[in-house]
Amino acid sequence: MSDKTIKDAAQREAGRTFQRGPKPVATEYEKAQKAFRNNFERLKAERLAREAAKPDDK
């Protein structure tokens, strides 16, 4: 085997060894926070749309 072939094989093996694993599973707290944030943003957008549609009576 040539030196380059050995080096390529070693790099492939190292790549497999040091690959990132699967993405960590979100905790129940993180899921709840994401749901809260999504709902908050939706409600904020609805409120802003209502306020923009309401005529200014001053």
Residue 1 has pLDDT above 60, yes or no: no
Residue 17 has pLDDT above 70, yes or no: yes
Lowest-confidence range among 1-5, 6-10, 31-35? 1-5
Find, among 42, 41, 21, 39, the residue nearest to 31 by Cα: 39
How far is C-alpha 3 from the geometric centre of its chain's CA atoms?
41
pTM of the model: 0.52
pLDDT reported for residue 11: 85
Local confidence band at 22 (pLDDT 50, 70, 90 cut-offs): confident
Contact present, 26 and 34 (Cβ < 8 Å): yes
> What's the whole-number average pLDDT of the chain?
85
